[in-house]
Structure 1
Amino acid sequence: MLFESSTLGALLKMGSHNTKALDREEPTKIPYDKNVVKFIYQEHEEIINRKVVEGELCFDHNRVVLSEETGSSNYINASYIDGFEHSKAYITTETPDSEKKICDFWKMIWEHQTEIIVMLNEPDGYEKGVFYWSLEERSTLYCGKLNIETLNSQRLYPGLEITKLIVTHEDGGSLIVNHFLYKNWQRVDILPSERDFLDLINTIRLYNRFGGILESVKGYRSPIVIHCSDGLERSMAFCVIDVSISQILKTGKVNLSSIVSRLSRERFNCLHCADHYCFCYSVFYHYFTFFM
């Protein structure tokens, strides 16, 4: 992955073990280093297990466990991911690709009372997954005891659509869900622009703060559900950047490599591609440069 020379030294400063953590009080003192990408790739090799294991596996210590019903399994390929200050701030999972997985997905949404879903791949001939909600307004998808009605949909900006859904349970109760479909990272190996992906993250942060029922009213914090074809690369890049932003806003410092190291112990096989690791650096540097 290529970066402009003006950002390379900053990227190295933002977490490599060869330097101290990035401090927003010293943004003008960041030196240029022509070998920064090499350092980042070396750093990636040190903190990520390069052996990719096939199969849909989750760590036992933080996998999502569904409530069991007669004749059903409690397994879903989904993991809890801790935020900067809050445990289980996110759930990362794969995009459903079968009727059973769709029902399990919505069961997970209901049981966690999730109000925000971030979808980072749109199903097509190349991307795994199916649409797990009705694309027509005022139409309903039925999944066991859950009914998912599409209320309305709008394009916030090119490449990002938000759909408001209402989930109702046959035994009573309802849940409003804001579903964000991001279309600008459609191929996992073709990265979006840093600004575009950052716009998505900032939008989600805004909705998470003001768009749902306040935590003080509910008495708990609902996890954001983030998914892509496998829940390993795009979804975890989102989490890394969002955690980094929260950390620097709170402390003024961030060490991205330590964040990735921690999250790699929460989602099996995640971020094994060094290009995506570099992308996390690049997006965060963009935030640091233009929003701090």
Structure 2
Amino acid sequence: MAASLTHDQECATKNFIELINSRPKRKLGPVSWSTAVKFLFARKFDVSRAVALFDQHEAIRQREGLTRLDSTEEPLKSELQTGKFTILPSRDSTDAAIAVFTAHKHVPTLSTHQMTLQGVVYQLDVALQNPTTQKAGIVFIYDMTNSKYSNFDYDLSQKILTMLKGGYPARLKKVLIVTAPLWFKAPFKILRLFVREKLRERVFTVSLAQLTAHIKRESLPTQLGGLLQVDHNVWLSHCLQSMTTCPESPLPLYGNWNKKKKSYNKVEFNIVDGKTPSPQKKLATNSDLEISSSTNNVDSWAEEANLNPPSSASSGFSDDDSLHGEGAALTMQQLVEYVRDRGRPGLMQEYAEIRSRPPDGNFTVAKIRSNLPKNRYTDVLCYDHSRVILSEIDGETDSDYIHANFVDGYKQKNAFINTQGPLLKTTTDFWRMVWEQNTLVIVMTTRVMERGRPKCHQYWPSDIDGETTYGEFKVRSVAVDSNSDYTVTSLVLINLKTEETRDISHWQFTSWPDYGVPHSAKAMLEFLEKVRRQQTVMVTALGDTWAGHPRGPPIIVHCSAGIGRTGTFCTLDICISRLEDVGTVDIRGTVEKIRSQRAYSIQMPDQYVFCHLALIEYAISKGHLQSADLTGFDQGMDDDSD
């Protein structure tokens, strides 16, 4: 059945479609209503998050050659017939669909990554048409029974995980690796490090006997010790029917359509006692696939070829997924030992490895001619998939651009907005962003002028009772508190159009050198702690008027370029939040995640090293560590090094 949408959801769907379909030179054709709703449900109708998921999904499909899938043509036809990957006609106890990859059937020398991924994605697209799958997600079984080292493809495994964990509009509930041989232990350790997000706690290595603790025998195929009889050819017949009926799942031009005959066969299925029957072909019509079943315990992929939007907002990753906090877990003592063993040269080399990786997205919007002057630096641009999108002014599409990206915090999506120091010409847009994103706290980690060069426009009145007007907003300063390391200015932001007012707290850290790090982390750590405390106070003051995340709306953080000191501030905040929550940290994973949303974050190797030393200093000050022996940390550095 079709999911009914609220007025706000319909508006969000229209907004999503307009954002995608208005893009210049879009190659994959217009996005339909059902596709838009699918991605929006996956991100709880947050348009910016849904667009980010869509962009990542589309980028992966284009990069891996997954845009046109015709199961009647080679090599996809033969790949599907191998049966190495299939969707079972059953579900687990939570109604999640069950996908099985049989490792011993995969021969890397005969099947390219593209060919294998096409086979996987083609079938997942069909599975995702089912609203139950959209709601309950997918369990992925990697069956290594009787497999050899020659059957294993590490790079392919990474690609599948990358796609499923953040580039596909379906929730990956669990990964079950069955009967893993001894030789798999080494690559598995590396794969677990690669999976740095919440998915990591959902990956299990199990024996056949242990598998039934996750999925009941009635829902498992006989090859995995279950009772289910599976005919892969029946599933492929259903896929062909489904994709010819609905060739846009989940994006346009994915699927099959016989343009010459303009017809196809439809398969009618009858599921009886959990057994897969042989199909009966009949002439296709536009009616839904007919299903009958004598048991409520078996839910089949053949229950309904539903072409309507999902019926639940739980498809895709939840708010806590794809966030910091689930990567390599180091206790503080382990971190000290790691830092001591690596030394400053080792940490700088580690940073060089991170920095050498190419960007994780595109900068198309930032490079549009009318938007280029809005970027402070020509070599520091905004990702498309995580950029903050302003409301349009008078229908001008370019008016939605500001040089700013959403960045996740610890167990909080879009906890930060990392941006450049506003230019004179972009200050009106900056305050518009503050208003539209309901921001309470602004963190500035630069001075307006440094070493005789302008780093940021003076976008707020620094004197008490000062007022400045930018477009439809007036900014008034009501209090200033200065000390040797930072200045706090209490501002009132007035919307001249609606006559509403909001309190804004502006925190400027003034003792952080450009292109460097503070000599001591103490002042920076105290500053960060007070910023967090201020955010908490202001969120509490909102009372019931704030219905979002308990930690409040995004904190805007900027320096000059919005990547170096800004990235360092966010890294420390995330790592400290995790340390206080679960007692472990993952600095490298945090930096990599931030860089995937805000390109080039952590600009200098010294800033990466500073994050490690500052976190150790914090741990000692809070009693997480008694002391830290870093003897020999600077060994191997040149005498004139900082």
Matched, 1:55 2:367: no
Equivalent residue number for residue 349 of structure 2? 42
So what's the TM-score if we normalise by structure 1? 0.85
Q: Secondary structure at the match of 1:272?
A: coil
Match of 1:112 in 2: 437
Distance in 2 separating the partners of 1:31 and 1:42: 14
Which residue matches 2:330? 22
Report the counterpart of residue 219 of structure 1 in structure 2. 547
| Superposed CA offset, 1:143-162 (max 9, x none) | 1111111111112x312111
Contact 1:140 1:147 in 2 (8 A): yes
Q: In structure 2, do the counterparts of structure 1 residues 127 and 234 end up closer, same or farther at CA, with 3 Å as the change threshold?
A: farther
Residue correspondence of structure 1 range 144-223 to structure 2 within 5 A: 144-155=471-482, 157-170=483-496, 171-214=498-541, 217=544, 218-220=546-548, 221-223=552-554
The 2-side partners of 1:264 and 1:64 are apart by 16
CA distance in 2, matches of 1:92, 1:32: 28
Higher mean C-alpha displacement, 115-124 vs 127-136: 127-136
Residue type matched to 1:240 in 2? Answer: T
Sort the Cα spacing of 1:51 and 1:126 in 2 relative to 1 into closer, same or farther, 3 A. farther
For residues 151 and 47 of structure 1, do their structure 2 counterparts lie closer, same or farther at Cα, with a shift above 3 Å needed? same
Give the 3 Å change call, closer, same or farther, for CA 195–127 of structure 1 in structure 2.
Answer: farther
Secondary structure, counterpart of 1:150 in structure 2: strand
Whole-angstrom CA distance in 1 between matches of 2:602 and 2:336: 30
Change (3 A) 1:260 1:129: same
Give 1:45's aligned amino acid.
A
The answer to whether the aligner puts 1:264 opposite 2:591 as a matched pair is no
Q: Is the 8 A contact 2:390 2:400 kept in 1?
A: yes
Question: 2:586 matched to 1:229?
Answer: no
- CA-based RMSD: 2.5
Count of residues in correspondence between the two structures: 272
AA in 1 matched with 2:512: W
Moved more, 217-226 or 183-192: 183-192
Runs of 5+ unmatched residues, structure 1 = 1-15
**How many percent of aligned residue pairs carry the same amino acid?**
26
Farther off after superposition, 31-40 or 112-121: 31-40
Once the two structures are superposed, what CA deviation does each residue of 1:161-217 show, in whole Å capped at 9, x if it has no partner?
Answer: 111000111223111000011100142235342111111111111112224445752
Q: Shift in Å at residue 127 of structure 1?
A: 4.1
SS in structure 1 opposite 2:511? coil
Tell me whether 1:84 sits opposite 2:415 in the alignment.
no
Larger CA deviation: 51-60 vs 142-151: 51-60
C-alpha deviation, 1:28, in angstroms:
11
Q: Secondary structure at the match of 2:459?
A: coil
**1:69 is aligned to 2:377:** no
In terms of mean alpha carbon deviation, does 39-48 or 146-155 score higher? 39-48
Residue aligning to 2:614: 283
Stretch of structure 1 that moved more, 238-247 or 118-127? 118-127
Instruction: Check conservation: 1:56, 1:77, Cα contact below 8 A.
Output: no
8 Å CA contact 1:161–1:180 kept in 2: the answer is yes
User: Within 2, Cα distance between the matches of 1:278 and 1:258?
Assistant: 14
Greater Rg by CA: 2
- Where structure 2 has 5 or more consecutive residues not aligned to the other structure, the ranges are 1-192, 195-327, 360-376, 625-642
The letter of the residue matching 2:606 is: D
**Change in 2 beyond 3 A, CA 1:31/1:187:** closer
Q: Which has the higher strand share?
A: 1
